[in-house]
Amino acid sequence: MNRPLLVELDDATVTAHLDRVAPWLVTTRTLQSAYRKILEDTADAVGEPHIRGWLREIAAPARQHEEAVSDLYRAFGRTAPAAGGAAGKLVPVVATVLGAARELVGEAEGRLAGVRGSAWRHMRMLLLSNLDAINGFAVAEQLGLALGRPDAVDIAFPIVAEKTRHQLLIRECYLEMAANAILYRRDV
């Protein structure tokens, strides 16, 4: 096996470091899955056709990013948890629970702020959820750099860039909806 040269690290240390990456990749997949679920729910909740269309456009890349986590496992020389195994079954459950918890927090915060309608509250949670998912991939990129895994960097870097562009779009949609939600107490 052709291993990267990491100065002053023996094989056992490198292997231990690579083993520590796997739980982070579970976290990255969970964050991305939760984001994708909130994105799909939000796109369905938004009544304004342009915003709904833009959100639906970024749903396909969100699914691709979720699937790319398997490529990250391979780039780190690790095996992704099997979909039928305990860890593989846990990710969708945790992602669903995380997404639902974030939506509840958004609902509570929106109600405290006097905002009517759920679409804008969903947008706020979408904004925060994507930021978490961006950071999940960004950490994977940094781990690839630290462990001399250029394939991991090649996978994570473009995902971080694309998700950052999506973050700007989501923020613009969120801001566009703000006046209606806060001043006029209308859902969009």
* For residues 148-172, average pLDDT: 97
3-class DSSP state of 78: coil
**The pLDDT value given to residue 120:** 82
Angle 57-63-66 (CA atoms, 0-180°, nearest 5)?
A: 140
* pTM of the predicted structure, to 2 decimals: 0.83
Do residues 44 and 99 make contact, with C-beta atoms less than 8 angstroms apart?
no
- How many Cα atoms occupy the beta-carbon half-sphere of 79 within 13 Å? 5
Q: Which amino acid is at 182?
A: I
Q: What is the pLDDT of residues 113-139, one digit of tens each?
A: 666 667 888 888 899 999 999 999 999
Q: What is the pLDDT of residues 25-69, one digit of tens each?
A: 999 999 999 999 999 999 998 989 999 999 999 999 999 999 999
Count of Cβ atoms closer than 10 Å to residue 78 Cβ: 14
Answer yes or no: is pLDDT of 86 > 60.
Answer: no
